[in-house]
Structure 1
């Protein structure tokens, strides 16, 4: 190896060590530009429901609507809400990759991403979470159907947005050689249909009158 080649290798090594040192010097960040906590605004129908949140080494009790700071290490978080005249309702809050992970591709390169993975960083809870509690009883079949038709419409809108985002990321249609795109769309449709089936099952079992 020539002197010039050896000097270039040393420069690259110093750069690599500098990036690693920067990532490790910021333990409260993910790992360079984002932290591990995220705020979630929790709302329910009806309002003023009492919600208990339980996760890994994490417990909170709030009255809705309310904002809660959630550490990513607590995921997944179970949220159980109750209100007078409504059935107790439970859902799960989980994290997703946030946009700051791409900041590390610019600032920290592979090392930055590796530090993120080691810390569980780059993951965020959704900024807003809505939960609709099911009435214990409906006054009439019309009231029942209005309620469940609304639930079905909300599910349809949600999965339409998700599938539109998937199609946008994959380009128009499903490109040849991208089985992950087709698989993602099929999975989204399957999950949507499961939620539809759950709604119809609850509709058929709902108490009316009395």
Structure 2
């Protein structure tokens, strides 16, 4: 009798463990709203680069963008000539799927979700505080034919 129930019990246990796996139940993409603020006012038309360890995304604010989730921080670099600049870092937070996965899979699924980023999320709205441009921040334009990276 035990030999007949063991495969069924093992199968049910495996399904329960996988049901909490964020890699299977959560998306690895996340939509976020990026907005820029200078002197308590929203500034439109600011170019921003968002990046983490799995990708880089470009946006002109305010805008909603879909990016890939990660356990790593999200770096945000924004600039608008004559207006200002910003450089911020936003940490990702573990979502509830990650903690359920840790408990149900005895920690194995935690490492899978950490590597795929499915168990983490960034804030839904990213408000970037701009710093005003100054004479010191202005750099001379590059010479003709010079490529900047």
Q: Same fold (TM over 0.5)?
A: yes
Q: How does 1:1-210 map to 2 (within 5 A)?
A: 6=2, 10=6, 11-19=8-16, 23=18, 30-45=22-37, 46-73=43-70, 75-101=72-98, 110-111=104-105, 114-120=108-114, 121-136=118-133
Checking the alignment, whether the CA contact within 8 Å between 1:41 and 1:66 is kept in structure 2 is yes
Checking the alignment, whether the CA contact within 8 Å between 2:77 and 2:86 is kept in structure 1 is yes
Where structure 1 has 5 or more consecutive residues not aligned to the other structure, the ranges are: 138-210
- Name segments (4+ residues, structure 1) moved above 6 Å: none
TM-score, normalising length: structure 1: 0.49
TM-score, normalising length: structure 2: 0.65
Checking the alignment, whether the CA contact within 8 Å between 1:33 and 1:104 is kept in structure 2 is no
Higher strand content, 1 or 2? 2
* Rg comparison, structure with higher value: 1
Where structure 2 has 5 or more consecutive residues not aligned to the other structure, the ranges are: 38-42, 135-149
The aligned residue for residue 196 of structure 1 is: none
Tell me how many residue pairs correspond in the alignment: 125
In structure 2, C-alpha distance between the alignment counterparts of 1:58 and 1:97, rounded to whole Å: 19
SS of residue matched to 1:12: helix
SS of residue matched to 2:22: coil
The aligned residue for residue 202 of structure 1 is: none
In structure 2, C-alpha distance between the alignment counterparts of 1:33 and 1:62, rounded to whole Å: 28
